[in-house]
């Protein structure tokens, strides 16, 4: 049985206690963060962590992020905390930045997917922070979706994937950012961007200078490197996703042509649009700003899928600011199917 706790009106101490008790008992609790919903368990309990992997159907070598509520907790998880990590935390925590550091021995290998490093972040969400504080434990939490599906930005998405399979789901309404945290590896110098996310790369560089970008961030999938998460298919709805990239005006024209071509062939077509209206079978308007697009993207993929479209056409965006994270997620959802509008 799954208990769904409504906390849309804000943190409720009594209800947080119930959820924290589940964490202490080694059970699974899904909770909102500012990025996406997480599927949480005690990060230091091997069995609890293993049940995250089995609930999600996640490969055992794809490591989890550990969530903390107070900066001091970092020293109990990471062996070495460089000055830059402290500076970044001062600027961006709580917030959508995950830092990869050498792990301490007490962090189970199950949590880190066998790696000697550990990923840590402090989420900027009162429900998440209260849950961590109340349980007095670091909480390992991947995005609360079945492995390979779009990340959840509403409790309803978590219910769709996990109802009946986990102990508890805390409903805190829609998540604010909508893409996952930025993952930065600080075990090498210069630091290496492993996953673009809610904190734009440019902001990190303003604080610590140049950051290297892992080739998988922009391009095609590469072999297992330092981020095992990169090699798995992600965010894929059942429909086939196709991205149309190029100059804005040309993209919109090409999208319209493609919508017509699919309709003529009897293929049910959905569109993820940015401001423009398309005469597709289903049209989901993401909004025009980077922030709106990031916030709505995963929800659009899930909803268009539910409406039974065969194909989802998506407009590409520029790869700067949040655009880097948006395109990274879109390309994965599309299995790297891209049409250039020339
Ligand atoms: O915003 C987020 O980060 C959300 C919320 C719930 O906090 N969580 C999330 O977790 O997106 P997940 O498991 O879906 O993605 C974690 C990413 C994966 O790409 C994983 O490979 C990488 O972080 N990662 C975790 N530990 C790592 C490590 N030690 N070294 C390199 N990459 C690591
Ligand atoms: Mg995920």
pLDDT given at position 221: 53
What are the boundaries of each domain within the chain?
3-218, 240-341
pLDDT given at position 234: 65
pLDDT given at position 216: 87
Contacts (Cβ under 8 Å, ≥6 apart) of 186 = 82, 84, 85, 99, 100, 101
pLDDT given at position 238: 83
Q: Residue 115: CB within 6 Å of ligand 1?
A: yes
DSSP string, 142-171: -BSS-TTSPPPSSHHHHHHHHTTTSSEEEE
Q: Residue 226: CB within 6 Å of ligand 1?
A: yes
**What is the C-alpha to C-alpha distance for residues 163 and 159, in angstroms, rounded to an integer?**
5
Nearest CA to ligand 1 atom 13: 142
What separation in Å is there between the alpha carbon of 30 and the centre of ligand 2? Answer: 13
pLDDT digits (tens, 9 = 90+) for 25-39: 999 999 999 999 999
pTM, entire model: 0.95
Pick the CATH number of 240-341 from 3.20.20.140, 3.40.50.11030, 3.30.70.260, 3.40.190.10: 3.40.50.11030
Tokens found for residue 167 = 């102990």
Residues in a beta bridge with 41: 140
Per the listing, tokens 């990031």 go with: 294
What separation in Å is there between the alpha carbon of 240 and the centre of ligand 1? Answer: 25
- Superfamily name with CATH number, domain 3-218: DHBP synthase (3.90.870.10)
Taking the CA of 147 as reference, the closest ligand is 2
Taking the CA of 230 as reference, the closest ligand is 1
What separation in Å is there between the alpha carbon of 151 and the centre of ligand 2? Answer: 6
Ranges in the chain, pLDDT < 50: 222-226
pLDDT given at position 335: 87
Taking the CA of 63 as reference, the closest ligand is 1
């Amino acid at each position: 049985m799954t208990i769904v706790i409504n906390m849309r009106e804000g943190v409720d101490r009594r209800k947080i206690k119930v959820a924290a008790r589940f964490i202490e008992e080694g059970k699974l609790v899904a909770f909102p963060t500012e990025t996406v919903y997480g599927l949480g368990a005690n990060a230091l309990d091997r069995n609890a962590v293993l049940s995250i992997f089995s609930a999600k159907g996640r490969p055992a070598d794809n490591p989890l992020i550990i969530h903390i509520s107070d900066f001091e907790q970092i020293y109990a998880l990471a062996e070495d905390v460089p000055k830059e990590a402290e500076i970044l935390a001062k600027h961006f925590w709580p917030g959508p930045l995950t830092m990869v550091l050498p792990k301490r021995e007490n962090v189970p290998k199950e949590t880190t997917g066998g790696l000697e490093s550990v990923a840590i972040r402090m989420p900027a969400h009162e429900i998440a922070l209260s849950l961590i504080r109340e349980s007095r434990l670091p909480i390992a939490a991947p995005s609360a979706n079945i492995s390979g599906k779009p990340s959840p930005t509403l409790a309803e998405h978590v219910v769709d994937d996990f109802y009946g399979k986990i102990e508890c789901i805390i409903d805190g309404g829609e998540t604010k950012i909508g893409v996952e945290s930025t993952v930065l590896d600080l075990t090498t110098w210069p630091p290496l961007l492993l996953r673009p996310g809610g904190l734009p790369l440019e902001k990190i560089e303003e604080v610590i200078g140049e950051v290297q970008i892992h080739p998988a961030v922009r391009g095609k999938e590469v072999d297992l490197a330092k981020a095992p998460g990169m090699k798995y298919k992600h965010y894929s709805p059942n429909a086939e996703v196709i991205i149309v990239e190029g100059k804005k005006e040309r993209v919109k024209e090409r999208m319209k042509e493609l919508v017509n071509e699919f309709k003529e062939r009897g293929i049910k077509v959905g569109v993820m649009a940015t401001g423009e209206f398309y005469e597709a079978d289903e049209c989901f308007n993401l909004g025009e700003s980077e922030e709106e697009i990031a916030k709505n993207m995963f929800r659009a993929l899930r909803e268009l899928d539910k409406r039974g479209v065969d194909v989802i056409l998506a407009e590409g965006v520029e790869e700067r600011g949040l655009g880097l994270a948006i395109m990274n997620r879109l390309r994965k959802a599309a299995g790297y199917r891209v049409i250039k509008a020339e």
